[in-house]
Chains A and B, each alone.
Chain A
Amino acid sequence: MSKLFRAFLRHPSGRIGLAIISLYLIAALLGTLGLTPRDPLKLFAIDRLKPPSANYWFGTDLLGRDTFSRLMVGIKQSMIIAFSSVALATLFGTIIGLLAAWWGTLWDGILMRIMDVLLAFPAILLALLIIAIVGPGTATSVVAIAIVYTPIFARVVRGPALSLKQRDFVDAARTFGSSQPYILSRHLLLNLVAPLAVQVTLALAWALLTEAGLSFLGLGTQPPTPSLGLMLAESKNLMTQAPWLMIFPALTIMLGILGFNLTGDALRDILDPRTQRREA
């Protein structure tokens, strides 16, 4: 494991990606603990639309709220949604993919066709449908993004699981009388960690993007809680007077996605010996 980590740190993309993710996690942690330079919700009425200064590092918005502090809480919000939705998608996708491969034939057909049905919807459309049913909010965003990405994990797991199932060591384990859950978790899942790790990092990048998109449309995190997408959307009408309101959220969204993309790329290079590059 430490060898892997060192290889990762030697990879330029890995180093930069990890640095960005760490920075975001620290910001998210400080945002959660309330350790922002200023209260992100407090209105400083006399300081409306102030440009960046020593007092307000990234300026203030129309209501005199501190952009920097709001971005920190926005990052926290994005991170919570991205990590929880990807965790759910990984869990359910992996279970579905493993069972489809293990049970085979009929179940494989049924489960994977259901996944195909979900994949036939453009991601944002599927998310919109779910939001229409449950109503917008943080929890809805998590569920919506999780449902969107579950089929992708199911596919990523099913393929390699099918070929692992045919391998001699699985047959051997069966002959020993190992239980099915044991074989599935020990022999199949453990060998799937590498492709899953790559997929998880890339999915985190997509989840950040989808979350920002949903909140940009006003269907994600609801005000007054700050969210990166909503901050960008609100800046649209003020962009000539207060460009900082647009530039900083835009950069924050980009940099976050970049961090996960770089990490995913580095992981793929290191974990896949053939560096087979299949873009999503």
Chain B
Amino acid sequence: MNYVVQRLLTFPLILLGVSVLVFISIRLVPGDAITAMLGTEAGLLTPAQRAALAAYFGIDQPVWAQYLRWLTGLFQGDLGISSIYGKPVLTVILERFPLTLQLALMSMVIALSIGVPLGVFAATRNEKPSDLVVRILAMLGQSTPSFVIGVLIIYVLSVFFGVVPAMGTFTPLTVDPLASIGQLIFPAVTLGFAFAASVTRISRSAMLDVLSDDYIRTARSKGASQRSVVWRHALPNALIPVVTLSGVEFGYLLGGAVIVEQIFALPGLGRLVLDAITQRDYALVQGTVLFIAFNFLLVNLLVDLAYVALDPRIRIGGR
């Protein structure tokens, strides 16, 4: 239990660290926010107007005071006002989040439904040619960056099928489920590809480990069929590392896939951060990065807790 308590206690601490780091780093960005906001028109502002704007966005105070104000706002669900969108930061984030969440889920479904069966298949044919083929494919998949896959997919679609994947728009799942899934299918395949490769590799090696365990030999000697041994006895235990890997990967994907969103022109969290950073929208950068880090830490915490539930040994042993 000690391990669980420790994890729960460090969670807010790390989040606080993230908030301080983001807050300081965004203020180290050269150039001032008001010029970044208004571009050349900033030159037309009178000093009084400039000061009024600075006061409106709260950037006229010393950094520590800004931080404290921001932190207290945080507890009231107030992340400040985005200077690009002129809306509350939380509203902007929540507008973008459904796409990112759906994309992450779709990529994970693709990765798991390809990776786990392939990994199990390869493990049961250890060192045979078919195992080697799967291993080579997984290695290639793991070595291919998502943006290479994305560009290749767009190329193949446009040259061989004359199709241009839907870009720039997003229909929420609740409005039109089919259209929504259709719009994200190619980005999801792009992200799912390397993800599937790592799932394949880890399920294969986990399965190999488990298959050499004593209890599997016992099951075999009882006369259990190969199918039952693999899927009923071995797989549940082999899935533990797969759960960990998928959790970490899913946590990353919730942070938005900056590059893939850029390639497919998707309005997700990743591009929001990119825009916020390049346009010096302090409040938006802080809010989004904190939101992303929060999700990432939360998913990791849940994975660790699931791990404890799946593997009772950790509960006693500590870290």
Contact = CB atoms under 8 A, between A and B. Distances in A.
B262 A239 contact: no
Interface stretch (B45-53, B69-77, B179-187, B290-298): B290-298
B202 A277 contact: yes
21 contacts: A116-B14, A118-B21, A120-B14, A120-B18, A125-B258, A132-B277, A132-B278, A133-B25, A133-B28, A135-B30, A205-B143, A209-B145, A217-B262, A236-B151, A250-B148, A254-B140, A254-B145, A257-B145, A261-B139, A261-B143, A279-B245
Contacts of B297: 120
Contacts, number: 125
A241 B106 CA distance: 32
A253 interface: yes
A21 interface: no
Name the prevailing secondary structure of the B interface residues: helix
A113 interface: yes
Interface residues of A, number: 44
Given A217-B274, A236-B154, A262-B139, A243 B202 contact: no
B252 interface: yes
Contacts of B293: 120-121
A94 interface: no
B13 interface: yes
Interface string A242-265: 010010001001110110011001
B159 interface: yes
B10 A122 contact: no
A240 interface: yes
Contacts of B226: none
Given A120-B297, A216-B147, A279-B245, A239 B158 contact: yes
A179 B139 CA distance: 45
B253 to A, nearest CB: 9
A212 interface: yes
A279 B202 contact: yes
Contacts of A130: 25
Nearest to B194: A209
Contacts of A205: 143
A127 to B, nearest CB: 10
Contacts of A277: 201-202, 205
Contacts of A217: 258-259, 262, 274
A232 interface: yes
Interface residues of B, number: 50
B147 A113 contact: no
B306 interface: no
Contacts of A129: 22, 25-26, 277, 285, 289
B198 to A, nearest CB: 6
Contacts of A125: 255, 258, 273, 289, 292
Contact of A250 (B152, B159, B258): B152
A41 interface: no
A258 B143 contact: yes
Nearest to B24: A133
Given A129-B25, A212-B145, A240-B159, 11 more contacts: A113-B13, A120-B296, A125-B273, A229-B147, A236-B263, A250-B152, A253-B145, A254-B148, A257-B144, A261-B142, A279-B201
Contacts of A135: 30
Contacts of B273: 125, 128
B85 interface: no
A239 B160 CA distance: 12
Given A120-B18, A133-B28, A213-B147, A113 B158 contact: no
Q: Give 4 closest A-B pairs by Cβ, nearest first.
A: A117-B17, A258-B143, A277-B205, A122-B255
B155 interface: yes
Interface in B1-40: 10, 13-15, 17-18, 21-22, 25-26, 28-30
A213 B259 contact: yes
A250 B14 CA distance: 38
A124 interface: yes
Contacts of B280: 132
A173 to B, nearest CB: 27
